[in-house]
Structure 1
Amino acid sequence: MNEKEGVRLQKVLAEAGIGSRRHCEELIGEGRVVVNGKKVFRFGERVDPQNDTIHVDGKRVETRSEMRYYIINKPRGVVSTMNDERGRKSLAAFVDVRERLFHVGRLDTDTEGLLLLTNDGELAHRLTHPSYGVEKTYLAEIHGPIPRDLGKRLRAGVTLEDGPAKADKFRIFDQAGRRVLVEITLHEGRKHIVRRLLKEVGFPVQQLARVQFGPLRLGQLHPGGMRALNVREIGELYKAVGL
């Protein structure tokens, strides 16, 4: 690419939501912007937004205009597919099907919560590959009383029919009578893993929701709600899987 090709770096950064052009120029001047592995200090630097890799303060900036990133709060009773041959309610009821998006991982039909939708195949692959160890956090309703050593047992691991499994983190989130809401975090994605893990230690799940996937949090997004990720969130996803 010669000098006359491409787009000025500060314009690309501003259009990606990093800040005003003046602020982006300051970032460049401070050596906080890296293009294709090299620090850039020159304001007039031109880049190819579709092919060049840009980082600001160590976080990748998504500049490819065709890339899409959303989270959706999948309601209970909805299957984690864009269509269902059995006629069950699918994600297509909440998503503009004109966009070619696919879901990253799955949630059981009876489980609600955070799903990531994107057309970024490399990111999706890394987020679901076991070697990257991306954590997922769930809120599970179980019935008490809860023994004091339950968290210790789950973190130590139990043996399921398809091998050992364990929680990375566990805590009691809320309690009202026999109803206990627990927060459990793990990094693997075997089918029904949270339900099977809690059932194995004697506490079948009554309701289950995923509230966090890697750095993404569900927050106040209502069931069936969907929103686009912001630049910071996209950068955090890339960082989580080494992109």
Structure 2
Amino acid sequence: MSVESWGEEPEGIRLQKVMAAAGVASRRVSEQLIAEGRVTVNGELVTEPGRRIDPETDLVAVNGQAVQLDTSKRYIMLNKPRGIVSSLKDENGRPDLRQFTDDFEERLFNVGRLDAETSGLLVLTNDGDLAHVLAHPSFGVSKTYVAKVDGAVSAQTVQKLKTGIELDDGVIKADAVRILAAGSGKAEGTSLVELTLHSGKNRIVRRMLSAVGHPVIDLVRRQFGPLHLGTLRSGAYRDLTKVELGELLTISRDAASSQAASAQTASAQENE
């Protein structure tokens, strides 16, 4: 006789109920997703809606995209204006991120930094695990910037940026570079360049462009990992969509799994 037939509460919560609470879909649609083989728990395919899980420890994915089961977590995309310091309390009294984070009940913090004169995409969250993966350069999350620079950037300069530039703190190279506009018309004497890189070094884009003779006039971060700034106006913010959040969580979980596997391999080699 089953535990439930004795009137005792079995451990865990039904998967479809957890999915519905997380905003994936209604219970009925969630049951359908499970039956169609589109849901995994801890990497294992689940096809029975009756499966019970622990939302605090089990990892759920739908169509290969991670799902956040903890509804207390908040994820915000901000288009940070120029002149705002990427800090929740600036020691010098400059305008900081509190003018945005104070709007939320949750205690949010910024993922990584943008210098005061750089505008663009900044993520605010209370998810420390996700923030660690997104901000740490070892996990290779890319960022894309659009820079207005002094002078006409040549194809040779683009190649230099991709090959590697020697800076005071070592050699750094961009993952991708393209010229969007090269000193013509009203913009004569300036160029618009798009750079993608995963380095988290301080003021790295400005330093790279200055090193090749094209000081930055204006700099905007347009993309952070799978997130795109789109038409979000300066000073505005919004919650991440379910799709955006799923993509970020998938990156975070893949990184954690890879890190755990590497640690396990290293441990096994030490014990040989």
Q: TM-score, normalising length from structure 1?
A: 0.93
**Structure 1 residue 218 corresponds to structure 2 residue 224:** no
Q: Which residue of 1 aligns with 2:208?
A: 197
**Is the 2:133–2:139 Cα contact (8 Å) retained in structure 1?**
yes
Unpaired runs of at least 5, structure 2? 257-272
**Is the 2:179–2:191 Cα contact (8 Å) retained in structure 1?**
yes
Q: Which residue of 2 aligns with 1:240?
A: 251
Q: What secondary structure, in the 3-state scheme, does the structure 1 residue paired with 2:155 have?
A: coil
Q: State which of 1, 9, 28 in structure 2 corresponds to 1:22.
A: 28
Q: State the shift of 1:145 in Å.
A: 1.9
Q: Which residue of 1 aligns with 2:261?
A: none
Q: Which residue of 2 aligns with 1:113?
A: 120
Q: Output aligned runs, 1:146-225, within 5 Å.
A: 146-175=153-182, 176-225=187-236
Q: Which residue of 1 aligns with 2:270?
A: none
Q: What secondary structure, in the 3-state scheme, does the structure 1 residue paired with 2:107 have?
A: coil
**Is the 2:136–2:200 Cα contact (8 Å) retained in structure 1?**
no
Q: Which residue of 2 aligns with 1:102?
A: 109
**Is the 2:82–2:117 Cα contact (8 Å) retained in structure 1?**
yes
Cα distance in 1 between the residues matched to 2:87 and 2:64: 34
Unpaired runs of at least 5, structure 1? none
Q: What secondary structure, in the 3-state scheme, does the structure 2 residue paired with 1:113 have?
A: strand
Cα distance in 1 between the residues matched to 2:66 and 2:114: 28
The worse-fitting range, judged by mean Cα deviation, of 2-11 and 102-111 is 2-11
**Is the 1:50–1:65 Cα contact (8 Å) retained in structure 2?**
no
Q: State which of 116, 127, 134 in structure 1 corresponds to 2:134.
A: 127
**Structure 1 residue 71 corresponds to structure 2 residue 77:** yes
- 1:167-201, Cα deviation, whole Å (9 max, x unpaired): 11011123533332111000101001000000000
Q: State the shift of 1:50 in Å.
A: 2.8
Matched-pair identity in %? 51
The worse-fitting range, judged by mean Cα deviation, of 7-16 and 76-85 is 7-16
Q: State the shift of 1:5 in Å.
A: 4.2
Q: State the shift of 1:15 in Å.
A: 3.2
**Structure 1 residue 49 corresponds to structure 2 residue 60:** no
**Is the 1:137–1:210 Cα contact (8 Å) retained in structure 2?**
yes
Which structure has the larger Rg?
A: 2
Q: What secondary structure, in the 3-state scheme, does the structure 2 residue paired with 1:206 have?
A: strand
User: Partner amino acid for 1:12?
Assistant: V
Q: State the shift of 1:230 in Å.
A: 1.8
Q: What secondary structure, in the 3-state scheme, does the structure 2 residue paired with 1:207 have?
A: strand
Cα distance in 1 between the residues matched to 2:27 and 2:73: 22
**Is the 1:74–1:113 Cα contact (8 Å) retained in structure 2?**
yes
Q: What secondary structure, in the 3-state scheme, does the structure 1 residue paired with 2:219 have?
A: strand
Cα distance in 2 between the residues matched to 1:174 and 1:46: 56
Q: Spell out structure 1 runs of 4+ moving beyond 4 A.
A: none
**Is the 1:174–1:180 Cα contact (8 Å) retained in structure 2?**
yes
Q: Which residue of 2 aligns with 1:230?
A: 241
| Relative contact order, higher structure (CA 8 A, sep 6+) | 1
Cα distance in 1 between the residues matched to 2:21 and 2:193: 41
State the aligned residue count: 243
Cα distance in 2 between the residues matched to 1:139 and 1:60: 30
Q: Which residue of 2 aligns with 1:12?
A: 18
**Structure 1 residue 141 corresponds to structure 2 residue 152:** no
User: Partner amino acid for 2:31?
Assistant: E
The worse-fitting range, judged by mean Cα deviation, of 96-105 and 227-236 is 96-105
Q: Which residue of 1 aligns with 2:37?
A: 31
Q: State the shift of 1:100 in Å.
A: 1.1
- 1:44-67, Cα deviation, whole Å (9 max, x unpaired): 223232332101122110010211
- 1:91-147, Cα deviation, whole Å (9 max, x unpaired): 111222642111111000000011111111111111122221110000100123222
Cα distance in 1 between the residues matched to 2:59 and 2:161: 41
User: Partner amino acid for 1:85?
Assistant: E
**Is the 1:16–1:231 Cα contact (8 Å) retained in structure 2?**
no
User: Partner amino acid for 2:202?
Assistant: K
